[in-house]
Every structure is written in structure tokens, then in C-alpha cells.
């Protein structure tokens, strides 16, 4: 079990193709393991829609085309359409807060890999247009809810 990963501070540029902004430590499962994945991200709003999901991959260096989107139960995170919310754990609309207040985006999902193995969970984000997020706080918790 990876457990709770403490908040980490990330600066990244998002674009219309998914970007892996954080990858968990290795998580070992049995064929019956069910995991609860919880993600919390804090950032200053941008003038672009932002989407977030979590993918499962077999290596610590995830590749979008081979990552399994645990939200939509599909392989290939690189093909997440903006027009369908079925692919995202959470989304945030385009807005600018003139006060510069930070916002919080959270998402939760259950994952049952169905096979024994070692997996890594990556937080993937996209944006309708290029946007740079600096000082973004991110936390991920991965908890076994069934052996």
C-alpha cells in the first residue's frame, strides 16, 4: 500500500495533451485488491479550463498511451476528450480571481486492477489552452479497502 503521499509543490505547464504531474510510489496488489484513490490539488485559478484524472501504469515513468484511466475504465489517457466529463476525476472552469485566491480541486475513485502486480498511480492534468501553474500543492492517498 502506498498510503498517503504528503503534499508536494509542483510547477508545471498544462496543455491540451495530458501531462503527468505526479506519480506515486509502487503499489502492490493481489487479484482481489480494491484501492481507494483520493487526490487533492490546490492552485491559483487560470483563464483556462483544467481537468484532472488518475491513471494506473506498470512503471514509475508513465506513458499516456499505455496508462489505464481509472475513472473511465479505458486505456490511453492521451485521448481524453474535453467534451466528455466521463474521463475526469475533477474539472475546474476557466476563471480569474482578481484577488488571487487559491482554489481546491479534489477527486476520488475506486480501482480494482484485477491482477496481482505492482502499479504506479499518476495524476494527469490537461487544459484547453496552455497554462503554467506555479506553486501548485498536490496530495494523493492510496488506501487498500479490500485485500
Q: For residue range 7-58, list pLDDT tens digits in order.
A: 677 788 888 888 899 999 999 999 999 999 999 998 877 777 888 999 999 9
Given pLDDT bands bounded at 50, 70 and 90, which one contains residue 100? low
DSSP state of 81: -
pTM: 0.87
Q: What is the mean pLDDT of the chain?
A: 84
DSSP state of 24: P
Q: How far apart are CA 98 and CA 95, in angstroms?
A: 9
Per CATH, which fold does 3-146 belong to?
Jelly Rolls (2.60.120)
Q: What angle do CA 145, 147, 28 make, to 5 degrees?
A: 95
Express each pLDDT in 52-92 by its tens digit.
999 999 999 999 888 999 988 888 887 766 666 667 888 87
Q: Average of pLDDT values for 105-110?
A: 92
Other residues' Cβ atoms within 10 Å of the Cβ of residue 54? 27
* Domain ranges (residues) in the chain: 3-146
Predicted local distance difference test score (pLDDT) of residue 6: 60
Computed on alpha carbons and rounded to an integer, the radius of gyration of the chain in Å comes to 15
Amino acid at each position: 500500500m502506498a498510503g498517503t503521499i504528503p503534499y508536494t509543490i509542483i510547477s508545471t505547464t498544462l496543455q491540451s495533451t495530458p501531462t503527468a504531474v505526479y506519480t506515486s510510489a509502487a503499489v502492490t496488489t493481489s487479484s482481489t485488491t480494491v484501492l481507494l484513490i483520493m487526490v487533492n490539488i490546490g492552485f491559483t485559478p487560470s483563464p483556462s479550463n483544467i481537468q484532472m484524472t488518475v491513471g494506473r501504469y506498470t512503471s514509475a515513468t508513465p506513458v499516456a498511451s499505455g496508462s489505464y484511466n481509472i475513472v473511465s475504465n479505458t486505456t490511453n489517457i492521451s485521448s481524453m476528450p474535453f467534451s466528455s466529463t466521463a474521463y475526469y476525476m475533477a474539472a475546474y472552469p476557466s476563471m480569474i480571481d482578481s484577488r488571487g485566491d487559491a482554489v481546491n480541486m479534489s477527486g476520488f475513485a475506486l480501482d480494482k486492477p484485477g491482477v496481482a502486480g505492482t502499479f504506479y498511480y499518476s495524476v494527469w492534468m490537461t487544459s484547453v489552452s496552455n497554462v503554467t501553474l506555479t506553486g501548485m500543492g498536490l496530495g494523493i492517498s492510496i488506501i487498500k479497502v479490500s485485500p
